[in-house]
Structure 1
Amino acid sequence: MFKKSIYFLFFLLCTTFAVLAQNPEEQAVKAVVIQLFDGMQKHDSTMIRATFHPSIRMQSIGINRKTNLMDLTTEENADGFIKHIGSLPANIQIEERVLSYEIRVDGNMATAWTPYELYVNGKRQHCGVDAFQFYKTESGWKIIALADTRRKCE
């Protein structure tokens, strides 16, 4: 029992230090990612749009059905994505679970690398990584590019 308590205390300290190690700009970038996924979960197009810069570029890399190899499978504009998520029926529950965040900031540019699992109505659909590029505007950080991979979960 004592050994488990020591392990738990060590885990708690490491987690606390990791959170404290993020600077305010990294935390602000992370907040944009969280807002995007919260907006997706709520089917809230206004919330999603607020995270995007008007010039955003969106791409997905997944399994090409013809070749069965990883390939650039989708290029989508923000309006199409936002309309798709906003028009999902209320009985469709989507949740993108971020497994970790790797955020880098340099001046008005930032990147975030976020491995994730996508769930639809509680069932895991696919896994991958979201690679975000951000630009800091007068109104805060905005996503200027988003590329993701989509693969079967292992």
Structure 2
Amino acid sequence: MIESSSEEEIKQVIATFFDGFHKQDSSIIKSVVADRIVLQTTGKDREGKTRFREDKFSNFLASICSIPDSISFEEKLTAFSIQVDRTMANAWVGYEFWMNGQFSHCGINSFQLVDFDGNWKIIYLIDTRGRAGCLD
């Protein structure tokens, strides 16, 4: 059963993550992730084959923080579905990614979180990416 206070806390953790993402501020992002976060992505390539990869968190931070000021980007969150059980939660978050005002792709971010003694932290993030069915 979802406790509304936990759900709101989890939404705030995710909002903080994306605040840091959009500001290209690694300290904000680090404030809401666990020490050993796992980052993965999956999607189809141009030939329609499933691709799956894992990224190092340090590489993710470096890539976000190195985006030049001449490039604007925004990940618009479109929907939330959150499940909570005791010290574990999952947030299924739809998104659209826009670059320089142009639609790029969409998908789902699946966040796994753990409540470390009153502080929800992201321990795992996997996302899907694609263009089909995005702006329906």
Q: 1:136 & 1:77 partners in 2: Cα distance? A: 23
Match of 1:52 among 30, 33, 37: 33
Task: Determine the structure 2 residue equivalent to 1:16.
Answer: none
Could you tell me the percent identity over the aligned residues?
A: 35
Could you say which residue in structure 2 is the equivalent of 1:79? 58
For 1:22 and 1:89, the matched residues in 2 are separated by 41
Task: Say which SS state the counterpart of residue 90 (structure 1) adopts.
Answer: coil
CA distance in 1, matches of 2:8, 2:70: 32
Q: 1:130 aligns with which of 106, 109, 126?
A: 109
| 3-state SS in 2 of match to 1:92 | coil
Q: How does 1:142-153 map to 2 (within 5 A)?
A: 142-153=121-132
1:28 is matched with which residue? 9
For the residue of structure 2 that corresponds to 1:88, the secondary structure is coil
Separation of aligned partners in 2, 1:86 and 1:40 = 8
Count of residue pairs brought into register by the alignment: 132
Q: Residue 125 and residue 22 in structure 1: after superposition, are their counterparts in 2 closer, same or farther (change >3 A)?
A: farther
* Structure with larger Rg: 1
Q: Are the counterparts in 2 of residues 40 and 94 from structure 1 also a CA contact under 8 Å?
A: no
2:3/2:84 contact within 8 Å kept: no
Work out whether residues 20 and 28 of structure 2, in 8 Å CA contact, stay in contact via their aligned partners in 1: yes
- Structure 1 length as normaliser, TM-score? 0.79
1:63 to 44, 50, 53: 44
**Structure 1 residue matching 2:67: 3-state secondary structure:** coil
Superposed structure 1 runs of 4+ greater than 4 Å apart: none
Q: Identify the structure with the greater strand proportion.
A: 2
Question: As a proportion of its length, which structure holds more helix?
Answer: 1
Q: Tell me, which stretches of 5 or more residues in structure 1 are unaligned?
A: 1-20
Any conservation in 2 of the 1:99–1:115 contact (CA below 8 Å)?
A: yes
Deviations 1:17-57 (A, max 9, x none): xxxx9711100001111111111111111111112111111
Higher RCO (C-alpha 8 Å, min separation 6): 2
1:40–1:22 CA distance, 2 compared to 1 (3 A) = same
DSSP 3-state at the match of 1:124: strand
Q: Aligned Cα RMSD in Å?
A: 1.7
